[in-house]
Structure 1
Amino acid sequence: MNEKDHFKEDDKWVQQALRGEMDAFDSLVRKYMNRVYFLLFRMIRNPQDAEDLTQECFVKAYHHLQDYDAKRSKFSTWLMKIAVNLCIDEFRRNKKVPMLHVVEELTHEHETPESLYLRKETYENYAYKLDQLPANYRTALLLRFYENMSYQEIADVMGISTTSVRNMLYQARQRLRKSQEEVQAYGMS
């Protein structure tokens, strides 16, 4: 099934759900549950909060399904916008901005304890640097590099122009690069 067929399938399920066919909405939930959960988990870094927000996202999507316009965006983009907005609301409510990415716990085959330590330290440093970015920069990076969204899709999710998305991504990469250069200049990792 190609990408266009996936969109048609989503739109068919939306129309069926709007007519009261719960199996159709269940199909949308099954299709997007993991994607929404992992986006929220990468933003919040708390599995229980990510589960709660995922559930809230689908409840909100169901209650506002009549507001979805297939001519304006793909269903997945519309759904991710709901998820991102819920996450932003959670940040505001709790006044916290958690690390973006969890440290990978899996070890590679034949990995020594020293190389595992260095790899974990690198991940932790990278996550810390991402935490230093403004929340909107991190969100744009997440959507671009974890969700593989286009600039237009990111703009739709974040409610900004594609030019703003491009600028945010550029600035975020520049800040990360500068931070890495500073760390290397001072001999830290």
Structure 2
Amino acid sequence: MQNIHPIFDKVLSRQHKEQLLQQKSVVIWMIGLSGSGKSTIAKEVEKSLHQQGFLTQLLDGDNLRTGINNNLGFSEADRLENIRRSAETAKLFLNCGIITICSFISPTKQIRELAAGVIGQEDFLEVYVNAPFEECERRDVKGLYAKARKGEIKNFTGLDAPFEAPEQPFLELRTDQKDLPTCTQELLQAILPRIQIS
């Protein structure tokens, strides 16, 4: 570390970039079981924000695992490193004034605290996309539940690896009780006051 000389204090500030973009940046960190609807809602929210003139970036767990995190598996240590790298990436976009929508299972309190610590608690909006395990398994949009039941996937969240529901998320979306347009609108209404420059 002695040969590293960060220049954080010499680069343009986040405020300069927010002023240029006429928006306030945040990180919307969407968590929930596989198949709960995280990515689907994230895509709809991004589309809507884009149509309203906001600059966004969507970071999806599967997408990052094909690139920056492609050397990581699903052990506890690798899951932590996956979230650490993802949070560091989100922070880069945050500091560019970009509204960053993240879609990661983030199954444990420890993992979410790690992400919030990297990003900064005040900019970390935790959105719990909540659907019961049985409903996510019924949907099985990626075929993962069937593979996990056959033993082809180990440490599958909700089955043989824990999912700890957040106690006080910024917002909870019950996708087993509400449709996609309703959940999308609820999220948009919750975040718009945080991203608009008055």
Q: Which structure has the higher relative contact order (CA within 8 Å, separation 6+)?
A: 2
Q: TM above 0.5, one fold? A: no
TM range (shorter): under 0.3
The structure richer in strand per residue is 2
Compute the TM-score of the two structures, normalised by the length of structure 2: 0.25
The structure richer in helix per residue is 1
